[in-house]
Chains A and B, each alone.
Chain A
Amino acid sequence: MLNPGVESGAPRTSRRTVPVQQFLGLAGILGFLLTWELVPRAGIIEARFLPPASDVLGALLRASGLTAFWVSVGETMLAWFLGLLIAVIAAVVLGFLIGSSAFLAKATSSTVEFLRPIPSVALIPLAVLMFGVKIESSLMLIIYASFWQVFIQVLYGVADIDMVANNTAKSYGLGRMARIRYVVFPTALPYLMTGVRLAAAVALILAITAELIIGSPGLGREIALAQSGGAISGMYALVLATGLIGVLINVLMRFIERKALSWHSSVRSEVIV
């Protein structure tokens, strides 16, 4: 009988089941790779459109030995990091400023709600016009998209501040700076970390997008080149590489989040925005 809910009244399940779950997960990945290997070989999809897994993994291995590959990775990561950094700084400053002032919050609300849903890909033509194929094009897109993720979370964080705590601090003569350090920042930090984590994923997507469409330096451009040049296994290998980078960024962000919040008793779950 299927019962996905948590069973109450029974002791925790045996530790034996945990490695079973991990084993199953690994089996799933292997199963996927196996299917990928067999489908082109069996001719279900033509091998020149979808090379078997072994070819692609081989291409990836070869690429990892080439400097050019790592240069591309570096270019993507540079754009990602710079864009994210600028976006986070801007979002924190503006977020705190606007969030702490009721007047500013109300005055900017309509503008924010209008600008926020605008897809950053709409800026692609503008970026091309202004910056061509330089890294600035990537940065423009990355910063625009990442900014909103962090900004909204900071607004939520500032709004969540316990007024009683803040007033108590005021009555004890804590100046603005001290209050920010002891009341505002700790409350807003979990929200900020959530925002940074979301922004990190978005930043990667936009970095790759800019490189793919505009042709600014990085993995995305290499993928486009591989595809138009007919290096199909290479193209898939690069796609895999971007996926792996995505996973790494996820893991890294969760690690940073845990560290930064390890003193925080309750790690707030993602605000459903």
Chain B
Amino acid sequence: MTWLKSLAYLVGLPLLLVLIWWGLTLGRPNFFFPAPGLLMETFGEVWFGERIITDVLPSLGRLFAGVAAAIAIGVMAGLLIGSVRWLRSLLEPTLEFFRAVPPPVLVPVLMLLMGINDSMKVAVIISGCIWPVLLNTIEGVRAVDGVLSDSARTYGVAGWARVRYLVLPSASPQIMAGVRQCLSIGLILMVISEMFASSSGLGFTIVQFQRSFAIPEMWSGIIVLGLIGVAMSFIFQWTERRVLRWYHGQKEVENAG
């Protein structure tokens, strides 16, 4: 019986909201908010076709490339900067300033420097996403436990082995927190770069719908973006739970004690 209860909790409120929405749009068609039935129809027409290939996949591809590059560069640079004390002191204020610049303003800047093309859009994503990963990695590296560090030294764990067995795992909770922020910023930047400076892609398509007042189509686009956001969140949480299983376990034990 309990799984039925869980199911009720899961779909209860959403169903209720959809019903209310359906009830409100019954009869008089509302300009801003299409009826659920119409939206479903339109959704299928608009997105399950070649648009997947011409717009959705390339957008996702750029997003993936940008985020992957930001994480890779951010972690590697963070490992280096975090380990060398004078380097960290030298760069930290400058990096903190870069992080404070709202990422969207870099769209016109990069448009100027790189023109309007795929590499520009990927560069926009990287330029915004890299800061949370970089700064969190630096912080994580800095905060490696002193006793653990001494233990590793006495057993001769140095150099690359030290990074692999000690520093990286120790910093991983911080790094993952940075990655989470990186993912949300990346999605935002992907959409913005396409809305502002593009002739193809998800963002561009949605803006086009809005400009031509194709309202149900526009809403279907909003839903697609929402679905992508939710999917990314699920994937991240799933990955985080696995990678940080030891961390969550340790926290649980500590809190119980």
Q: Which A residues fall within an 8 A CB radius of B?
A: 2-8, 20-22, 24-29, 31-32, 45, 49-50, 106-111, 113-126, 128-130, 204-205, 208-209, 212-213, 220, 223-224, 226-227, 232, 235-236, 238-239, 242-244, 246-247, 249-250, 270, 272-273
Contact = CB atoms under 8 A, between A and B. Distances in A.
Contacts of A120: 188
A26 to B, nearest CB: 7
Given A6-B146, A25-B89, A111-B17, A239 B188 contact: no
Interface in B161-209: 167, 173, 176-177, 180, 184, 187-188, 191-192, 195-196, 203, 206-207, 209
30 contacts: A2-B83, A5-B145, A5-B148, A6-B145, A25-B93, A25-B94, A28-B91, A110-B13, A114-B230, A116-B233, A117-B233, A118-B229, A122-B206, A124-B206, A125-B210, A125-B221, A126-B218, A129-B210, A205-B103, A208-B104, A209-B104, A209-B188, A223-B108, A224-B108, A224-B196, A236-B109, A243-B98, A243-B101, A246-B102, A272-B177
Given A126-B218, A208-B105, A2 B225 contact: no
Interface of B: 9-14, 17, 32, 82-86, 89-94, 96-98, 100-109, 111-113, 141-142, 144-150, 153, 167, 173, 176-177, 180, 184, 187-188, 191-192, 195-196, 203, 206-207, 209-210, 213, 215, 218-219, 221-222, 225-226, 229-230, 232-233
B113 to A, nearest CB: 5
Contacts of B12: 107
A247 B82 contact: no
A241 B24 CA distance: 45
B89 A205 contact: no
Contacts of B83: 2, 4
Contacts of B142: 4
Contacts of A117: 184, 226, 229-230, 232-233
B96 A121 contact: no
Contacts of B96: 247
Nearest to A124: B195
A272 B173 contact: yes
Contacts of A31: 90
Contacts of B147: 5, 8
Tell me if A's interface is mostly helix, strand, loop or mixed. Answer: helix
Contacts of B180: 273
Contacts of B92: 25, 28
A117 B109 CA distance: 27
A227 B108 contact: yes
The 7 residue pairs across chains A and B that have the minimum distance between CB atoms: A246-B100, A5-B149, A125-B210, A117-B233, A243-B101, A122-B225, A227-B108
Contacts of A27: 90
A122 B148 contact: no
A223 B230 CA distance: 31
A114 B14 contact: yes
A28 B105 contact: no
Contacts of A208: 102, 104-105
B104 A212 contact: yes
Contacts of A24: 86, 89-90
| Residue from B85, B90, B107 having most chain A Cβ neighbours under 10 A | B90
Nearest to B178: A272
Contacts of B209: 125
Nearest to A198: B181
Nearest to B112: A49
B129 to A, nearest CB: 13
Contacts of B176: 272
Contacts of A22: 89
Nearest to B170: A5
Nearest to A224: B108
A239 B146 contact: no
Which among B85, B101, B191, B225 has the greatest number of chain A C-beta atoms within 10 A? B101
Contacts of B229: 117-119, 122
Contacts of A110: 9-11, 13-14
A165 to B, nearest CB: 17
Contacts of B144: 4-5
Contacts of B98: 243
B101 A242 contact: yes
B209 to A, nearest CB: 7
A124 B108 CA distance: 18
Contact of A4 (B9, B13, B141, B195): B141
A235 B109 CA distance: 8
